[in-house]
Structure 1
Amino acid sequence: MTDEQKKPPAATDEVVRRLVNETGITDAQARELVAFLGPNNWTSLLREARILNPKGPKAV
């Protein structure tokens, strides 16, 4: 088993939260992307999230 497989689920939650905050996609969309691409493929996650929401995050 590799170190990546030993990571706790919280690591995935952190990636989802960061993806939502940085791109403005929904939590469900972020979770689906992470499920497809994996939590360690940050550049691909950002690329796909920006395709889903090209306008970026909403100002708070």
Structure 2
Amino acid sequence: MKEHTGDGDSHDGAVEILAGRLARVADITEEQARELIELIGTDWDSLLREAHFLKARHRL
């Protein structure tokens, strides 16, 4: 059983929620969304811009 470690749990949960939202809005996978969050941080406008760029790049 996973031990409660404090703020890390709430941060992980917030990242999962943000990744899910980004994946739905930008039509990318949740894995891609989590990677973008790790690279960029949690700024929504930056994440959305990069997600759209990523999606367009994969269409080529």
Spell out structure 1 runs of 4+ moving beyond 3 A. none
Percent identity over paired residues:
40
TM-score (norm 1): 0.71
CA RMSD of aligned residues (A): 1.4
Higher gyration radius (CA) = 2
CA distance in 2: counterparts of 1:24 and 1:33, whole angstroms: 13
Structure 1, unmatched stretches of 5+, are 1-5, 55-60
Q: Does 1:11 align with 2:14?
A: yes
Aligned-pair distance for 1:36? 0.6
1:38 CA displacement: 1.2
Structure with bigger helix share is: 2
